[in-house]
Amino acid sequence: MITEPLIVIALCIVFYGAFSGRLAQSVISAPMIFMLAGLLTGQAGFGFFDIDIDNHVLEGFGELTLGFILFADAASTNSRKLFKESRIPRRLLFIALPLTVLLGTLIAIVIFPNLSWQEAALIAAILAPTDAALGYAVVTSKNVPERIRQAILVESGLNDGLALPAVLLFAALAFSSMSGETRGLDYWLIFAFKQIAIGAVVGAVVGGALGKFIHYADGKEWIAHSFRNLVCIGVAILTLFCAHIAGGNGFIAAFVGGLAFGSFCSRRAGSLTNFVEEEGQLFSLIIFFFFGAVLLPAALESFTTFCVIYALLSLTVIRMTPTAIAVFDLKLKWPTIGFLGWFGPRGLASILFLLIAVEHEDKGRLTEIEAVVYVTVFLSVLLHGASASPLSRIFGKSKAAQADQSAN
């Protein structure tokens, strides 16, 4: 029965929402509450319900939710200021991200010697993208300098799409190594290039063209008040799935499409952001609930001490070292570098990428990979959620943040 979990979700919405203004400034985040509610009320906890959701359902719902959020976040981004102050996100995306996958692979090979290097790389690639929603207090805090907030937001918006080709590559390599199938390096390089390039082009064309059209229609007052947000949602969905049809990456298309849409239709982009803060957040919280109720308990059956060790390293050394290397010559102070490195939470994208990898991997070999990924996400929800608001306030009062504010 789906009734019981829906009741629990509704109770979480009501009671967290009633105190959300106060809780937003505390160590308790919404994803934390929903994840723990699912864990405590499901079969791993008090057993109030026993539900089995097909991975394809969660994957489709998660992909739509993530694409929707990426589109809206990008649409609300000041694109002119972004391109002017793009050095930090560029370094995080094109230097720190590959180094994170590389370092994560090497450490996984050491900690999990029973896994092949392809499977170790798959773990690292799945856990490479970040989720700004888990550090929502950071990207919305006025205490944090704007360019630092935008860097974190843009990184989380684009690294999902950049990491997905690597996830598909290592999942396919792991599968082919067990089945005896092999494909050349040129095939995968072309595949990755097509995913990124086609996704960006489709996003720019669809988001820009429809953004210009909606801006024109809105200026003529053709759009009814009740459809002002809905037409924007339609653009987000079209951008995501047009990229899939064209053979590109839907997440890159969603983010680039959002940037293009916002540059042509900034008035509607602002209202879309407010809408997404509610509806988009609800969708992601539902996924975190079912993550706690269904996915996490199954992964805990393969739980080991080494999973926790790798998870903690993934959130610290594997993330923070590449970040420091990527931005060390940008004259950022160490508190700023540490802040950027710490707020690389793992969330919705990692959950979704693992569900995608399930289609490629042998289920028997996947259990340990599931355990590592899900334990990392679980700890990230707790640790990043609890530290987002306090560390934003502390960092905002630091000399490093004040110097960066003055630089803006």
Query: Where does the pLDDT of residue 112 fall: very low under 50, low under 70, confident under 90, or very high at 90 and above?
Result: very high
CA distance 371 to 324: 28
Asked whether the predicted pLDDT for residue 169 surpasses 60, the reply is yes
CB 259 within 8 A of CB 206: no
Q: Which one has a higher pLDDT value, 359 or 77?
A: 77
DSSP summary character for residue 134: G
Q: Which of 265, 247, 266 is nearest to 202 (CA)?
A: 247
CA distance 325 to 185: 28
Q: Which of 128, 58, 115 is nearest to 377 (CA)?
A: 128
DSSP code per residue over 289-302: HHIIIIIHHHHHTT
* Average pLDDT of the chain to the nearest whole number: 85
Asked whether the predicted pLDDT for residue 378 surpasses 90, the reply is yes
pTM, two decimals, is: 0.85
Q: Where are the domains of the chain?
A: 3-15+28-407
The per-residue pLDDT for range 91-111, each reduced to its tens digit, is 999 999 999 999 999 999 999
Q: Which amino acid is it at 276? A: V
Which range has the top average pLDDT, 4-13, 22-31, 65-74, 267-276? Answer: 4-13
- Mean pLDDT, residues 43-72: 81
The per-residue pLDDT for range 277-304, each reduced to its tens digit, is 667 788 889 999 999 998 888 787 778 8
Q: Which one has a higher pLDDT value, 42 or 176?
A: 42
Q: Which residues contact 14 (CB under 8 A, 6 or more apart)?
A: none
Q: Which amino acid is it at 46? A: F
Question: Which helix (H) or strand (E) segment is 219 a member of?
Answer: helix 185-219
pLDDT at 225: 77
Asked whether the predicted pLDDT for residue 164 surpasses 90, the reply is no
331: phi > 0 → left, psi -120 to 50 → alpha, else beta; which?
left
- Mean pLDDT, residues 354-371: 70
Q: Which of 46, 45, 37 is nearest to 11 (CA)?
A: 37
CA distance 68 to 352: 14
The per-residue pLDDT for range 18-31, each reduced to its tens digit, is 998 888 888 899 99
Task: Provide the token pair at 307.
Answer: 């999973």
Q: Which one has a higher pLDDT value, 381 or 407?
A: 381
CA distance 238 to 143: 36
- Whether the CA torsion 230, 160, 167, 184 is positive or negative: it is positive
% of the chain residues with pLDDT over 70: 87
CA distance 299 to 123: 14
Angle CA 359–312–386, to nearest 5? 100
Q: Which one has a higher pLDDT value, 90 or 181?
A: 90
Exposure on the CB side of residue 54, measured as CA atoms within 13 A: 4
pLDDT at 277: 61
Phi and psi at residue 2, to the nearest 5°:
-90, -10
The per-residue pLDDT for range 121-140, each reduced to its tens digit, is 999 999 999 987 787 788 88
Phi and psi at residue 34, to the nearest 5°:
-70, -40
CA distance 87 to 178: 41
pLDDT at 50: 79
Q: Which of 237-241, 348-352, 402-406 has the lowest mean pLDDT?
A: 402-406
- Mean pLDDT, residues 389-397: 91
Q: Which of 253-257, 307-311, 354-358 has the lowest mean pLDDT?
A: 354-358
**Coil, strand or helix at 288:** helix
The per-residue pLDDT for range 63-91, each reduced to its tens digit, is 888 888 888 877 876 655 555 667 899 89
**Coil, strand or helix at 79:** helix
Buried b (16+ CB within 10 A) or exposed e, 68-99: bbbbbbbbbbeeeebeebeebbebbbeebbbb
pLDDT at 80: 58
Q: What is the CATH number of domain 3-15+28-407?
A: 1.20.1530.20
